[in-house]
Amino acid sequence: MTAHIAAIATALPRAIEQSTLWDEHFRPLLGGSRAAERIFAAVGVRRRHAVVSPLDLDLSECTTGERMRLYNEYARPLGHEAVSAALASADLDPADIGQLTVVSCTGYTAPGLDVQLASSLDLADDAQRLMVGHMGCYAALPALAAVTDYVTAHHRPAVLLCVELTSLHVQPSTADMGQIVSHALFGDAATAVVLRPQESGLEVVATGAVTDPATADHMTWTVTDHGFRMTLSPHVPEVLGKHVKRAVERLLDDHGLTVPDVRGWAVHPGGPRILDTVEHELGLAPEALDPSRHVLREHGNCSSATVLMVLDELLRARAPKPGDPVVAMAFGPGLTLYITLLRAR
């Protein structure tokens, strides 16, 4: 018995056009900086979604406590919507679910979001719960591996939910280019995946990882008195470029596959340069990463939810044939690279 993805669903708050964010909010704060304007235009984002738009409320000076209160207000309804849609698509009831795993690096409370959702969804009282926090953009893939283990061992369906409300952590605007990139790139989303112990759908085959602790300071997500602050080095793409080919080839080789055998790529769009690096290092065709670029363009980088959104876009655009291998890949603090091999059944 193996675990298969039966459904994926995403819930999104209100959309905001990138050009409007720049013209009406960030341009005045940054004194019309031409360098900042180029960054906003170059990150590959056309629109993003936010539970709290800076056009309505500037959170940049709010305390972390105030931001957590907003997280508690918005995270549960958005997560509930995503899980409900995924369960409906999989033709399952909440009572069928044996485990709920919730991933988030943008908010905390206790009882946690997993408990809140167990109540609002009316899960069975014996349903197990798991919270995965503060791992960052790659967290969906190790969480997917954990959920796969549960489904395989217990022969019961399970749900993975990634909820990220990055809009709650907007920082005071400065001339720091890394901070400007963060302000230009991130959006909010909740994405749910239903896994079932069945012999059809997209089988989760194996997961691999690489961490380069020597470059840990290249990407950080630090809790401060004014929300969570990201630092992002421009050297991230070149560091990933040193590891991605070897890591992918190692995982594929374990299953008798090579890069040309892969029929679909769901790569976390951490930014255009990261996608260009993956494409170059793996020798992929230009259209191979179209699903990643589409999600980046229409939603921005939604942290852990993003790779699942890309996988959903890939499955909608290019439904794999039985036997086709698919690779999902995401990156984050560490620097860490996670890779998951899937296969259509």
- CA–CA gap between residue 50 and residue 302 (Å, rounded): 10
106 touches 168 (CB < 8 A): yes
Encode 5-43: b = buried (16+ Cβ within 10 Å), e = exposed.
Answer: bbbbbbbbbeebebeebbeebbeebbeebeebbebbeeb
Question: What is the DSSP secondary structure assignment for residue 136, as one 8-state letter?
Answer: -
Q: Can you read off the two tokens belonging to residue 167?
A: 């809009």
Whether 162 sits among the annotated catalytic residues: the reply is no
- CA–CA gap between residue 103 and residue 191 (Å, rounded): 10
141 touches 330 (CB < 8 A): yes
Residue from 105, 137, 162, 302 carrying the catalytic annotation = 137
- CA–CA gap between residue 189 and residue 135 (Å, rounded): 16
- CA–CA gap between residue 7 and residue 15 (Å, rounded): 24
- Expressed in angstroms, the distance from the first to the final Cα of the chain is 13
- CA–CA gap between residue 282 and residue 154 (Å, rounded): 37
Active site residues: 137
